[in-house]
Amino acid sequence: MTLHVHRFGTGEQHHYLGIHGWGGGWRTFEPLAPFVPEDATLWSVDLPGYGSSAPLREWRWEQLTDRIVETLEAIDAPRFQLVGNCSGAAFGLAAALRRPDQFERLVLIDLFAYFPWYFELLVAPAVGRMFYATAFQNPVGRWITDRGLADHRAEDSDLTASFEALDHDVVHQYLRMLHQLPAVATFAGLQQPIVLVYGEHTFGAVRESVRRCSRIWPHARAVELAGAGHLPIQEATSTLAAQIFAGTMQ
């Protein structure tokens, strides 16, 4: 079963695959639509359980990878450039490891390459689901969480707004799948050009992820986006677009 895919652009020469993070959907990449070059297409998916995509029967990252690969095969395109956002970048890496022939370049935006301690709290046995509900499912909790993370976003951004309309059982399962992902060193064999893009004010765990990734991929290029936090697609759209569509922008 393939994923729901929204198409930005009509070009056939370059194909980009957008994979959103755990609080997103295909609209995550909508701000980039005006920047898609004339000869390119940005395919933006709804991951299983989000938007118009059916949920997984078993919430394991291997099954998620299967669905991404099936979707790649259903799109009439020879190869893709991955544009993965947050946890979507990690799941995209799993797909690239499975089908390296399908990906010619990897753009990883604010990637979490390991599971930080504050995510551990959200998946802890017995109490993790309660912690998640308090921070992200409850409107007051979302407001408090967003204010507490103000140093990691632009002044006019909201890190928790997208959670209002989501299926929270699904979102929590994605945290569990992210927890299941193997260590980033598992992906060391990926040889495609890699760009690690992160916001100037992002989380310390993302900066540490960039350091770890730079060690396993000496050929990777790290790019800090001035003024942006954890939401570069919203907060530094044009600068980010220049990195994503480098070499193809008209």
Give residue-wise pLDDT tens across range 128-185.
Answer: 999 999 999 999 999 999 999 888 888 888 889 889 889 999 999 999 999 999 999 9
Burial of 66 (0-12, 13-18, 19+ CB in 10 A): middle
How many CA within 13 A on the CB side of residue 23? 15
pLDDT at 249 over 60: no
Q: Is the pLDDT of residue 250 over 50?
A: no
Q: What is the mean pLDDT of the chain?
A: 94
Backbone angles phi, psi at 105, to 5 degrees: -165, 145
Q: What is the mean pLDDT of residues 5-17?
A: 97
Query: Which among 241, 235, 236 is positioned nearest to 156, based on CA atoms?
Result: 235
How many percent of the chain have pLDDT more than 70? 98
pTM flag (> 0.85): yes
